[in-house]
Amino acid sequence: MNNEIDGFVIYNKSGKKQKAFAVVSEDYECNAKSSNLPSLFKEFIVPIEDKRFFEHNGIDYRGISRAMIRNLINLKVLEGGSTISQQLARNILRDNSRTIYRKIKESFKALNLENNFSKDEILNLYFDNVYFGKNLRGVRTASIFYFDKELEHLNKSEVLYLITILRGPNYYIKNTDKALIRMKILSNLLYQNRTININQFRKINRHPLHFNENKLFSIKKNVIPYITESINFKKKKIVSTLIPKFQNFAKQIVSDSKYPLSVIIIKNGKLVGFSSHYGSDYPFVFKSNVGSTLKPFLYYLAKKTGITNDEKFDAYHNSLNWDVREASYTDKFLNIDEALFHSNNNSFINISNRIGIDKSLAFLSTLLSIPSNELFSSTILGATKYGISLYQLALHYNVFFTNDIDSEKRMLMEVLNKIFTSKTDIQIENVFLKTGTTNNNDERIAVFHEADTTYAFLRNENPENDYSKEGNFIQSISNKIIAFFKPNKEYKWMS
């Protein structure tokens, strides 16, 4: 796909209804490209902005002379004299400085555009690149933002409103009454110019505008493969797997977090919500060690190989003579349930050695879809050659705990549910939690699972005076999690 999808509009799914919510972009700005620009935009813009557009070569010398005379008479700038080609050049150059140098650059660019594109192509480029305030660029973006509609569904009043605010979008956004006054002036100009007839003129001024502000944000190209359900290249439209309530929750909890937070939400193997303090692609491209979050998988393998709670493992020393840190003090010997509950590193090294280190790594390699040469003995404690992304971790948890639930998985989920209860003081049978910390507690991971949905969180940067293993990380998100998913207490994990 690469650059082919720049400017595509991304839609959420909520039942049969689809709603635009984002644009594919590598920066903060949302610049939605239009596949078919309604002719009405072109018919309206020329008499309003550049009535000799089809006659000049990019610079309207008569217009510049008229503007200079008017500005001198009034001793202030009332008219700029810029053609549509010059305005397009300014938007492409992204330079709004009021200098002679900028004007010269703009003029040369306008002449270059006229030499390389037809008039119709210049109008298309103009409407695809014109600035509409905030983080909006392009008329399709503005149409979705202001009216929550694609261009082809706009009426004449809405088309004229978008053209009206072009001259000062940030000003008109704050002063809608002023925009409506200017819109009436422009509708009269179009009528006098015979672009519209008397009935259309009356309808435009009689038709009430219904604004339905639809905030948009940008999503980087490398995220698109993870969220795409279908792509329509003709309409420049992507239907995503994201679900509004999950996506809105992910964005809100990141926004509310005191410290840098990333969130991934997977439901039945599909990404339904995500957000990050560090940018849209961070939960997918940032990879790190995931600490104790891999222990549940090793617990399952141990149970499958026949290890029961009757067998105890040394919690203070390990058979590989590793010097490892522990989160808390425990009894000297722990069974497998206790080892997982306390997330005891020594015990899990001993458990993995009992299974066989090679067998343990082979199991994790298959489960996590990571080549075996990228795993080491220390993978038992969450270390890999290149790390694991938050998305990968959440996906593997979701697939593992929503498919083929056997007796060993039920035993595992019971222990993880006890961890959830102990850390949140909330008693719910069908929810579990596993945490992990790495890099001297700078990265803290929490994975919640409820019914068929997995919520994975990564908090970066260890806050000042927060020296504990998890600090206030769990407390800061658990209540919001519970309030959001309002778990069905009657739900039971079943195969």
Give per-residue pLDDT as tens, 446-493: 999 998 999 999 998 765 555 455 557 787 788 788 778 766 555 555
Determine how many CB atoms are found less than 10 A away from the CB of residue 170.
12
* Burial (CB count within 10 angstroms: exposed 0-12, middle 13-18, buried 19+), residue 349: buried
Q: Is the pLDDT of residue 348 over 60?
A: yes
SS3 for 487? coil
Is the confidence at residue 336, as pLDDT, over 60?
yes
| pLDDT in the model for residue 460 | 86
What CATH code would you report for 248-485? 3.40.710.10
pLDDT for position 432: 92
DSSP reduced 3-state for 476: helix
Helix (H, G, I), strand (E, B) or coil at 202: helix
pLDDT greater at residue 15 or residue 108: 108
Instruction: Please write the tens of the pLDDT for every residue from 263-275.
Output: 999 999 999 999 9
Amino acid (one-letter) located at 444: R
Q: What is the CB neighbour count within 10 angstroms for residue 269?
A: 13
pLDDT given for residue 215 in this prediction: 85
The predicted pLDDT at position 64 comes to 54
Q: Is 116 exposed, middle or buried (0-12, 13-18, 19+ CB in 10 A)?
A: exposed
* Nearest Cα residue to 44 out of 261, 146, 234, 191: 191
Q: What is the average pLDDT score of the chain?
A: 87
The two structure tokens encoding residue 62? 């008569």
Q: What is the pLDDT of residue 147?
A: 94
Following DSSP, what letter does each residue of 131-143 receive, concatenated?
Answer: B-STTEESHHHHH
Spatial strand order in the sheet of 270-276: 270-276, 261-267, 453-459, 443-450, 431-438
Q: Per mean pLDDT, which range of 199-213, 264-278, 294-308, 393-407 is the poorest?
A: 199-213
Which of 147, 274, 155 lies closest to 222, judged by CA?
A: 274
Collapse the DSSP code of 442 into the 3-class scheme (helix H, G, I; strand E, B; otherwise coil) and give the result: coil
What is the average pLDDT across 320-333?
Answer: 89
Own/partner pairs, 175-178, CB within 8 angstroms, 24+ separation? 176/211
Mean pLDDT lowest among 49-53, 158-162, 291-295, 456-460: 49-53
> Who contacts 76 (Cβ-Cβ below 8 Å, separation ≥6)?
none
Q: Check whether 140 has a pLDDT greater than 60.
A: yes
- pLDDT tops 50 at residue 75: no
| Domain 33-206: CATH superfamily, name plus number | Biosynthetic peptidoglycan transglycosylase-like (1.10.3810.10)
Backbone angles phi, psi at 34, to 5 degrees: -100, 135
**What are the CA-CA distances from residue 41 to residues 37, 125, 134, 405, 443 (Å)?**
7, 12, 22, 57, 51
* Residue 28 per-residue DSSP state: S
Weakest-pLDDT range from 298-307, 399-408, 437-446: 437-446
Task: DSSP letter for 376, please.
Answer: -
Instruction: Look up residue 233 and give its two tokens.
Output: 């290249």
Cα 327 from Cα 347, distance rounded (Å): 13
Does residue 279 surpass a pLDDT of 50?
yes
Looking at the DSSP assignment, which residues form a beta bridge with residue 448? 433, 455
Tell me the percentage of the chain whose pLDDT exceeds 70.
88
Q: Residue 406: which of 300, 311, 306 has the closest Cα?
A: 300
Cα separation, 122 vs 87, whole angstroms: 11
Residue 15 pLDDT > 80, yes or no?
A: no
Query: How far apart (Å, rounded) are the C-alpha atoms in residues 271 and 227?
Result: 6
Whether residue 283 has pLDDT greater than 70: yes
Helices (H), 373-452: 390-402, 407-424
**In the predicted model, is pLDDT for residue 69 greater than 50?**
no
Quote the CA–CA distance of 428 and 390 in Å, as a whole number: 25
Instruction: Give the whole-angstrom CA distance, residue 472 versus residue 423.
Output: 11
**Percent helix, strand and coil across the chain, each to the nearest 5:** 50, 15, 35
Please classify residue 55 by burial: count the beta carbons closer than 10 Å to its beta carbon, then call 0-12 exposed, 13-18 middle and 19+ buried.
exposed
Q: Which of 117-126, 144-153, 418-427 has the lowest mean pLDDT?
A: 418-427
pLDDT at position 184 is 94
**Span 295-324, mean pLDDT?**
95
Pairing of strands 388-389, 287-288: antiparallel
DSSP 352-396: HHHH-HHHHHHHHHHHHT--GGGB-GGGGGT-BSS-EEHHHHHHH
Please report the pLDDT score of residue 70 as a whole number: 46
Q: Does pLDDT of 71 surpass 50?
A: no
The distance from CA 408 to its chain's CA centroid, rounded to whole angstroms, is 36
Instruction: Please report which confidence band the pLDDT of residue 105 belongs to, taking 50, 70 and 90 as the band edges.
Output: confident
Lowest mean pLDDT among 97-101, 115-119, 188-192, 257-261: 97-101
Q: What is d(CA 140, CA 31) in angstroms, rounded to the nearest whole number?
A: 8
pLDDT band, very low/low/confident/very high, at 161 (cuts 50, 70, 90): very high
| pLDDT of 2 strictly over 60 | no
pLDDT at 390 (0 to 100): 97
Q: Nearest Cα to 297, choosing from 352, 346, 338, 334? A: 352
Residue 54: predicted pLDDT: 83
Give the CA count within 13 Å in the CB-facing half-sphere of 149: 14
Please state the pTM of the whole predicted model. Answer: 0.87
Cα separation, 341 vs 417, in Å, equals 10
What pLDDT, on the 0 to 100 scale, is given for residue 76? 40
Average the pLDDT over 134-157 and give the result.
94
Q: Span 233-242, mean pLDDT?
A: 95
The alpha carbon dihedral of 373, 374, 375, 376 has a sign of positive
Domain boundaries, the chain: 1-32+216-240, 33-206, 248-485
Nearest one of 116, 117, 118, 46 to 83, comparing CA atoms: 46
pLDDT at residue 300 is higher than 90: yes
CB contact burial 179-192 (16+ within 10 A = b; e otherwise)? beebbeebbeebbe
Nearest to 350 by CA among 377, 328, 320: 320
437 band by pLDDT with thresholds 50, 70 and 90 = confident
User: How large is the average pLDDT for residues 26-30?
Assistant: 91
